[in-house]
Amino acid sequence: MKEKIGFIGLGAMGSGMAANLVNKGWPLAVMAHRKREAVERLKELGAAEAGTPKELALASDVVILCVTGSEEVQQLLSGPDGLLASGKRMLLIDCSTSNPAVTIKLAAELSQQGITLVDAPLARTPKEAAEGKLDVMAGGSADGIARARPILEAFAARIIETGPAGTGHTMKLLNNFVSMGYSAIYSEALMIAAKAGLTPHVFDSVLRGSRMDCGFYQAFFEFVLNRNENAQRFAMANALKDMSYLASLAQALQAVNPVGAAVRNSFATAVAAGRGQSFVPALSDVIAAANGVSLTEAADGK
C-alpha cells in the first residue's frame, strides 16, 4: 500500500515531479499557490486538491515541499492553517534550496513532534523533472531516507545520500556555488572580451569543445549566442538567495570565502539593477552594461 503524498510548490520543477508521482500510482493531494494551471492538470490525472497546508497534512502521510527556501518552508509550517496545526506525525521532504543552519534546527524541533525531516534538494532542470530524471541530494536519518527513497525514485534518476539532516541542503548550496561561480566568470570574461574587441562568437569558438566546455557552459551560451531566454531557467533573485545562504553558512563555519562573496555580489548587482526575475545567463548582459558595453552589439560586430 503506497503512502498518501501531499505536495506544495507546483512551479517549474514541482509540477513535473508531482505529475510523476500521480502517474506512478502514488495517492496525491496538491495545493494551489500562485497559478492554478498545474493544479488543474494534476486533478485531471487523479490528484485531489487541499485548500490549506493543514488540510493537506490531514490528508497525507508524507508532505513534499518544493518552494523557494527556508522562509517559505517556515511559513507553510506555522500558523492556524499551517502543516503543524494538523497535529499529525508525518515524513516531511524538503526539496527546496534552504539554509542548512535552519534545516538542522528545524529537524531537531520537528522530531519532538513526531515529524521526520529529510532535506532532498534537486539538481538538473524542469525537463528532467518532467521526465523523472532529477538528481536528489538526501540528508536525514537512515530510517527517514529509507522511507523517502521510493517516493523520490518517482521523479529522480539519482539519489545521493549526503549524511544527517542539513547535509543535503549544504551540498545543494555548494553545487549552486560552483554553477553560479561559472556564471560570474563567464560574464566577466565576456565583458572584458567585448571591451577588447572580441565577439562572444570568437570567445565561444575557443572554449567550445575544449577542456573548459560542459553542459552548464552550453546552456549559458545558448542565451549569450542565440538569446534563448529559456535555456537555463533559474532566476537571478534565487541565485542571490542561494549565495546569501552560502555566505551565512561560511560565516557560521568561520570560513574565509572571498570567491563566494564575489559571486554573491555579481548577482546582487543584477538584482539591484532590477533584473532579479531574469534567468542566470542574463548576468552576462548586466555585467557588460555596468562596464559600458553590449554583448549583442559585440556579436553583431558593431
Tell me the percentage of the chain whose pLDDT exceeds 90: 95
Cα dist from 95 to 72, 138, 258, whole Å = 12, 9, 28
Cα dist from 104 to 107, 109, 168, 239, 289, whole Å = 5, 9, 11, 22, 40
pLDDT of 34: 74
Res. 59 pLDDT band, cuts 50 70 90: very high
- Asked whether residue 245 carries a pLDDT value surpassing 90, the answer given is yes
pLDDT of 183: 98
* Domain range summary for the chain, segments of one domain joined by +: 5-165, 170-300
Sort strands 122-123 and 134-139 into parallel, antiparallel or unpaired: antiparallel
Taking every pair of Cα atoms in the chain, the longest distance, rounded to a whole number of angstroms, is 65
Task: Give phi and psi for 162, each to the nearest 5.
Answer: -100, -15
CATH number of the structural domain 170-300: 1.10.1040.10
- Asked whether residue 65 carries a pLDDT value surpassing 50, the answer given is yes
- As assigned by CATH, the class of the 5-165 domain is alpha beta
Report d(CA 234, CA 242) in Å as an integer: 11
- Asked whether residue 73 carries a pLDDT value surpassing 70, the answer given is yes
- Asked whether residue 137 carries a pLDDT value surpassing 80, the answer given is yes
- Asked whether residue 302 carries a pLDDT value surpassing 50, the answer given is no
pLDDT of 301: 56
Rounded to 10 degrees, what is the CA torsion of 118, 238, 296, 208?
A: -20
Res. 297 pLDDT band, cuts 50 70 90: confident
Q: 95-111 burial, b if ≥16 CB within 10 A, otherwise e?
A: bbbbbbbbbbebbeebe
pLDDT of 25: 97
241 is catalytic: no
Q: Which of 88, 172, 241, 302 is catalytic?
A: 172
Mean pLDDT confidence for 226-255: 95
Whether the model pTM is above 0.75: yes
Mean pLDDT confidence for 44-63: 98
